[in-house]
Amino acid sequence: MAFSSELTLSVHPSTASIPAETWNRLAPGRDGRPDNPFLDHAFFLALEQSGCATARTGWQPQHILAEKGGEPVGLMPLFLKSHSQGEYVFDHGWAAAFERAGGRYYPKLQSAVPFTPATAPKLFVPSEDPALKRALLDGAATLADRLNASSVHATFVTEEEAGFAGDADWLVRYDTQYHWDNEGFAGFDAFLDTLQSRKRKAIRRERREALADGLAVDWVSGGDLTEAHWDAFFTFYMDTGSRKWGRPYLNREFFSRIGETMADRIVLMLARDGDEYIAGALNFQGSDTLYGRNWGCTRDVPFLHFELCYYQAIDYAIAHGLARVEAGAQGEHKLARGYAPRITRSIHHLVNPGLRDAVADFLAHEREAVIEQNEVLEEYTPFKRG
């Protein structure tokens, strides 16, 4: 796609067709390494080469690379999708309504990190040139027309990208996650001192009971990660995933691949009974954020989920000077554990005018409801007032 005599956009049907050095240089970061671990070429490549995110699973890469005079200047990770699974921003109702009206919602185009509800830029433009960002959005819309796709969606975008896309007449959607912010705490007790007394006591009790039977927690990262650790964690992941949503998205090969290529950005928190691991939580570390992703167990221990996924994450963030913990999608139960509500954003381009008008009206009301809900949720955080 030629957008000017200088700017051209090309569509790449695989992550492997874009060199890792090019991808990571375009992604927001420093010294050729993305700040957000999920934007790393290695993460997308592991999803593709393990067979988790491919055309067969309904995630056909259609990454848009922008070049000026043959020099890469922008990138938009993009997938052609035949379903709405693994996105964490739910448009199943839009699809059902459109198809009841005689339309065809799939295929659609999706700019996302597959199976990962973490906010991160989707328009990689190191120069921050708004014309280049607009070209990527327009290129995605043009590709939708070419592929007879109903729509283009970019999920978990930054606030800046949502504002930019809104100005370009894309629709903006809000949702809520729960994040923990590090206020320079010297330790977990310093964090607890910011909470109301009964909330402090409840958290201390949960932590005691979670490890009451002599369980220990290991933080495993970098060169200490072994295939035995991944074997244990995959067992936990499959057990919990199968009970929670029926078909876990990730296979065993994926974990081996990220263990080989991203070990220094991975933190496995494993609960151990003697020499036996019984539960685990997978985290990824960015430049200033710890991202909680997957959890599982083979033994039901009260409060162990909270300990591994929330409290150990806070301990780790404090110990490593990280600014925040993002503990994944949904979960009002996180409020009582010191995680505060934060708005997340997605952007949407719908080709059919009737569908666009109906969704625009729905989103206007939904955004108001999310803002009001978050104001109410703030009143239920456990922090001291005043």
Residues 124-163 as b or e (16 or more Cβ within 10 Å = b)? bbeeeeeebbbbbbebbbbbbeeeebbbbbbbbbbeebbe
- 3-class secondary-structure state, position 255: helix
Q: What is the DSSP letter of 168?
A: T
CATH homologous superfamily for the domain 7-176+342-378: Gcn5-related N-acetyltransferase (GNAT) (3.40.630.30)
What residue ranges do the domains of the chain occupy?
7-176+342-378, 183-322
Confidence (pLDDT) at 246:
58
| Alpha-carbon gap, residue 104 to 215, rounded angstroms | 52
The class level of CATH for 183-322 reads alpha beta
Q: Are strands 151-157 and 108-111 parallel, antiparallel or unpaired?
A: parallel
What number of residues does the chain have? 386
Helix (DSSP H) and strand (DSSP E) numbers for the chain: 12, 16
> Whole-prediction pTM value?
0.96
* CB neighbour list of residue 115: distance below 8 Å, 6 or more residues apart: 47, 52, 53, 86, 249, 250
Measured at the CA of 348, the angle between CA 343 and CA 354, to 5 degrees, comes to 125
Confidence (pLDDT) at 352:
98
Same fold, 7-176+342-378 and 183-322: yes
Q: What is the pLDDT along the chain (386 residues), one digit of tens a residue?
A: 655 658 999 999 999 999 999 999 999 999 999 999 999 999 999 999 999 999 999 999 999 999 999 999 999 999 999 999 999 999 999 999 999 999 999 999 999 999 999 999 999 999 999 999 999 999 999 999 999 999 999 999 999 999 999 999 999 999 999 999 999 999 999 999 999 999 999 999 999 999 998 999 999 999 999 999 999 999 999 987 666 555 789 999 999 999 999 999 999 999 999 999 999 999 999 999 999 999 999 999 999 999 999 999 999 999 999 999 999 887 889 999 999 999 999 999 999 999 999 999 999 999 999 999 999 999 999 999 86
Confidence (pLDDT) at 244:
59
| Alpha-carbon gap, residue 315 to 186, rounded angstroms | 10
| Alpha-carbon gap, residue 352 to 105, rounded angstroms | 10
| Alpha-carbon gap, residue 24 to 56, rounded angstroms | 26
Q: Are strands 324-329 and 289-297 parallel, antiparallel or unpaired?
A: parallel
Confidence (pLDDT) at 331:
85
Confidence (pLDDT) at 2:
57
